[in-house]
Structure 1
Amino acid sequence: IPDSEHHRRKWQMALEMIDELIAWGRTPAPVIADAGYGDATALRLALTERDIPYVVAVKATTSAHPADAAPVQPPRTGQRGRPPTLCYPDAPISIKTIALAADATAARTVTWRDGTKTSPTNPTATMSSQFLAMRIRPANRDIPRHDDGSLPPCWLIAEWPHGAPEPTGYWLSSLPADTPVAELVRLAKMRWRIEHDYRELKTGLGLDHFEGRSWLGWHHHATLVTAAHLFLTTLRLTAPKANGQD
């Protein structure tokens, strides 16, 4: 399967699961995803159509306009035909270029959680870095424009560690314009929780221990493992002290 087709199938399956959750009457929390999903413009548009906010990683080459860019009406060259449509006077640029134009001095330090690896200089294992957060307008021919010809704005979050020559990570988010930067960063960095849960499902609860050959058997196994993980997660959230003693 070509890599592009593989990624398309991945995000389509994810969207089907989200739709099933909505059918159950559940409102999905903000969707967090890596660039394998975030680079799919169709997925981001589908989430917006469902009023589901997202914070997704994207590649540095993702094209966009600055937030203050505005479409203009090109001059008409003849008397016949339709008048030219509104368009941006400048071509879109990469989000890396937009971030570099902001300069590293505009980045602010944000702490998103306490880790587990302490040190004499960091006894609480505080996890923090420098981040830029700015409004931009992603540019893609598939993105619908507003009536005035403008592209919808969204957040660009860029991690720019102190001393690094350029940002090391980029995210797009459809959360409201008044969302605090600390909340944007917390959600952008939430993938550690996904990776932790997946590792717990495999190594702690035996997700990868299935040796059968039937789809029904695998489905039963995965369902029981997922139920066990839900129980442990609920226990951690509702009785953290008791969970820590067990």
Structure 2
Amino acid sequence: MSSLPPTSADAPVPPDQFPGFVDRVFAHLQRADQRRWGHAYLLGLLTTPGKKTVRRLAAAVTDSPTASQSLQQFVNSSPWEWEPVRHEVARWAEERLRPRAWTIATTVLPKRGDHSCGVHRRFVPRLGQTVNCQVGVGLFLSDGGSAVSVDWRLHLPARWMLPHLRQQVRIPDDIRPQPVWSDAFDMVDRLRRHAGVTPLPLVADLRDGRRAGDLVRLLARQRNDFVVAVSADFPVLPLNAAGRAPYSPTAPGIRHGLPSAGVVRAGSVVGGCLRGTHLNAGAPADLVHLTAAATPGVRERRVYRLFTDRRRPSVVWITNMVRHRAAELSSLVGCWTGTADAVRDLRQDFGLLDFEGRSYPGWHHYMTLVAAAHAYRTLLGSPPRSPARELEPVPA
């Protein structure tokens, strides 16, 4: 590894953990200048207060007049693969965090103009207005108290598949528009198959998605445990809706013999819970089938469980973990709640909203660096400091 970029002459030498972290996550980069500028960019994200523009990041780590151009090229033009970096961050984070769940979070990234990849007009209920934005879908590792992001997807509306727009922002030929649930499944599947981390239950909020059932079916088919928030009108079939004897697992807190004869809304099945008694307060949950994807009203054979949690009593959750105790399911819901705090930290302290480029590879490079910086700070505490050495300009 080449010498570290400098700040002021009186800055202390960084702790040993940071060089080791950088060497590990960028180990697959073959070029020394790529590893060097990756080191500088991470250091800038960790030590630059406020807005994370390229100029401010460069000024925080070096006096070189060409550093900002080199950092910008490293993110927007340099042809390095981001997925191996993310998988290494995931392995590194798993060793320190001891996660209990994988969680999904969707975040709106407001943008000016319409030239950045994936930008579109979107109504945001939290803001109560339509905004010009990108939408990022993140996969996190969570232990219930802390969460770190290990993968990201950029939501691409259909118009970005037009040939001239694809070429303009360098969208790869194999990328197609996908709903949020599909992005979520793809990230989970790739993390499980390629990163070598331990599979964990997935916790996600898909209340705004129209096809949450597709993700539920795919996860169940892969035998991946999950706890997914769905809309109150999500269609289900109570367990004895087809005249069958009710399912009777040995787990506590399950009601038998649901008196329904057809497809109902998930919110009505757990209606008693929605009125003020919730799963982790000892109320019963409800067992259901999903309707068959091709034939509405026809049940599928798998059994799922609906419940609510007292921390968010209006949210209906569905899970395939039908034999787990109420406290375990409530704890997983807590992992999802903690992920919202991680997204807030990424926005406020790590530049999640500050990407200045327009390209698809640039967005993924930047999100990878932001995720790595956040993981380092979350799991190792205080930020590193730069030694007082010169960073020689690296030719573009």
TM-score by length of 1: 0.63
Report the Cα offset of residue 100 of structure 1.
Answer: 3.1
1:230 aligns with 2:230: no
Note if contact 2:273-2:308 (Cα within 8 Å) is conserved in structure 1: no
- Check conservation: 1:57, 1:188, Cα contact below 8 A: no
Would you say the 8 A contact 1:132–1:160 is kept in 2?
no
Q: Distance in 2 between matches of 1:196 and 1:155?
A: 27
- Cα deviations by residue, 1:147-178 (Å, 9 ceiling, x for unpaired): xx7632211112468xxxxx622110111x33
Read off the aligned partner of 2:239 and give its amino acid letter: A
Q: Could you state the TM-score of these two structures normalised by the residue count of structure 2?
A: 0.41
Cα deviation 1:68-117 (Å, max 9, x = unaligned): 55546xxxxxxxxxxxxxxxx92122233222367968x3574xxxxxxx
| Amino acid of the structure 1 residue aligned with 2:213 | T
Amino acid at match of 2:349: G
2:360 is matched with which residue: 215, 226, 232?
215
**1:49 partnered with 2:196:** no
Matched, 1:180 2:305: no
Are residues 1:205 and 2:350 paired? yes
Structure 2 unaligned blocks of 5 or more? 1-119, 123-155, 158-176, 245-259, 383-396
Matched length = 191
| Cα distance between partner residues in 2 of 1:30 and 1:38 | 22
Aligned-partner Cα distance in 2 for 1:102–1:157: 7
Larger radius of gyration: 2
Report if the CA contact (8 A) 1:160-1:169 is conserved: no
Q: Residues of 2 paired with 1:97 and 1:206: CA distance?
A: 42
Q: 2:185 aligns with which of 8, 12, 15?
A: 15
Match of 2:62 in 1: none
Residue equivalent to 2:286: 135
Distance 1:102 1:206 in 2: 40
Larger relative contact order (Cα-Cα within 8 Å, sequence gap ≥ 6): 2
* Contact 1:57–1:172 (Cα < 8 Å) also in 2: yes
Give secondary structure in 2 for the equivalent of 1:157.
strand
Distance across 1 between alignment mates of 2:303 and 2:330: 18
Superposition pairs of residues 235-246 of structure 1, within 5 angstroms: 235=380
1:61 deviates by 1.7
Structure-1 residue corresponding to 2:78: none
Which structure 1 residue ranges, 5 or more long, are not aligned? 73-88, 111-129, 162-166, 237-242
The 5-angstrom pairing of residues 1-246 of structure 1 reads 9-24=179-194, 25-34=196-205, 35-37=207-209, 39-71=211-243, 90-100=261-271, 107=277, 110=280, 130=281, 132-142=283-293, 151-159=301-309, 168-175=314-321, 177-235=322-380
**Alpha-carbon offset, residue 216 of structure 1:** 3.6
> Bigger shift: 20-29 or 39-48?
20-29
Q: Distance in 2 between matches of 1:196 and 1:102?
A: 26
* Paired position in structure 2 for 1:127: none
